[in-house]
Amino acid sequence: MKKTAILILILMIMILYPVPVLSKELQLANNVDNSENEKLGVIKLNVSTNKKLKDKQFLKNSWEFVKGEPSDNALNLLMFSYHTREDRDQMNESNKLVAIDLDGYTLGTYNNSYHSQTYYAGITRKIYEKNLPEDVNMDFKYKLMAMHGYERYEFNIGGITPLIVPVIGISKGLVGVDFLISPGRTVTFATTFRVNLPEKKSIKKNVF
């Protein structure tokens, strides 16, 4: 009888003994799952952060490219244009431009395509420049201007027509030529001549 009781006791211990072990194994598995979830969370956070940083850097680089730098100081003289419209024989294509680009600003006047005198002011920014053989320089810039003189012909706000004009310039020394495209009711191609102004030289003062 005693042997039977002892055997029953041993069986009960053997049955009960694995339970804590299984519990520990389950707890360990839960810990592993939690650790993996934390790692996945960190990875997702890093990916999201890196994407935001890349997007921010892309926007910054794009803005720096568009902002460019002030165009070279120059006098712009004369302008000859070509209009992509059927009645271009009635358009003025000798526009008598007189303008100046100075420290990134532009100011000028010319006789527009509709034979009306136009005045403009705005900014001029250079976004690309390349030195070619024979000391020839090429640059790509744009002019963002407010123009007065197109009230009856082009879109305007209170008589002021906003316009952005892309320009490709070729120059050598102090002389150059600019090729531009002017959008509007009709696309206009134009050529202007440029006299580059000497760069300002910084004056150093002696300090005693």
pLDDT tens-digit map of 4-54 = 666 666 666 656 555 554 455 546 556 656 666 676 766 766 766 777 777
Q: Does residue 15 lie within any of the structural domains?
A: yes
Query: Within this chain, do residues 22 and 84 fall inside the same structural domain, yes or no?
Result: no
Distance of alpha carbon 172 from alpha carbon 200, whole angstroms: 18
Most confident of 11-15, 104-108, 182-186: 104-108
Query: Within this chain, do residues 176 and 73 fall inside the same structural domain, yes or no?
Result: yes
Q: Enter the tokens of residue 93.
A: 């294509």
Structural domain harbouring 43: 2-66
Q: Does residue 186 lie within any of the structural domains?
A: yes
pLDDT in tens, 74-85: 999 999 999 988
Geometric angle at alpha carbon 89, from 85 and 94, rounded to 5°: 100
Q: pTM score, two decimals?
A: 0.69
Among residues 70, 53, 45, 81, which one has the least CA distance to residue 143? 70
| 36 CB-side CA count, 13 A | 6
3-class secondary structure, 205: coil
Provide the CATH number for the domain around residue 86: 2.40.160.20
Q: Enter the tokens of residue 162.
A: 């906003």
Q: How many domains does the chain have?
A: 2
Query: Within this chain, do residues 191 and 90 fall inside the same structural domain, yes or no?
Result: yes
Residue 176: predicted pLDDT: 97
pLDDT in tens, 122-172: 999 999 999 999 999 999 999 999 999 998 888 889 999 999 999 999 999
Residue 1: predicted pLDDT: 61
Q: Does residue 13 lie within any of the structural domains?
A: yes
Q: Does residue 164 lie within any of the structural domains?
A: yes
Q: Which of 15, 31, 66 is the last residue of a domain?
A: 66
Residue 103: predicted pLDDT: 95
Q: Which of 48, 66, 84 is the last residue of a domain?
A: 66
**Residue 165: count of CB within 10 angstroms of its CB:** 20
Query: Within this chain, do residues 59 and 89 fall inside the same structural domain, yes or no?
Result: no
